[in-house]
Amino acid sequence: MTYKQPPLHRGVYPQKMNWLWRLICEAGYITIDDVVTALRAGDIDVERARAMGWLRSEGDDGYFPLSIAELERNLRLILSARAEPAPPGDAGKSD
């Protein structure tokens, strides 16, 4: 069977990407503490309540809508935080 793109069953609103963020966090084993730590390391002072609100659905107490721009920024900062630092003395070397 050849690959077929699945149908889009959900409307995508770029200012409310919480549902996608929840899936990413589940698949990537990303915790609230991971998010807060990564954002703070990127000079973004985020409250833990806001980070938790990104995992909630619209209408839930503590919900904060997450835009596609925030989602991308969060992922990039988490990837940066998870990147393995170069061993001492190896910084700046290239193969």
Q: Is residue 85 part of a domain?
A: no
Query: DSSP secondary structure string, 35-75?
Result: HHHHHHHTT----HHHHHHTTSPTTSTT-----HHHHHHHH
Which residues make Cβ contacts (< 8 Å) with residue 28, sequence separation at least 6? 78
Q: Is residue 58 part of a domain?
A: yes
Range of the domain at 53: 18-80
- Each residue's pLDDT tens digit, 7-49: 888 778 889 999 999 999 999 999 999 999 999 999 999 999 9
- Number of domains the chain is built from: 1
Q: Is residue 88 part of a domain?
A: no
pLDDT above 60 for 92: no
Q: Is residue 22 part of a domain?
A: yes
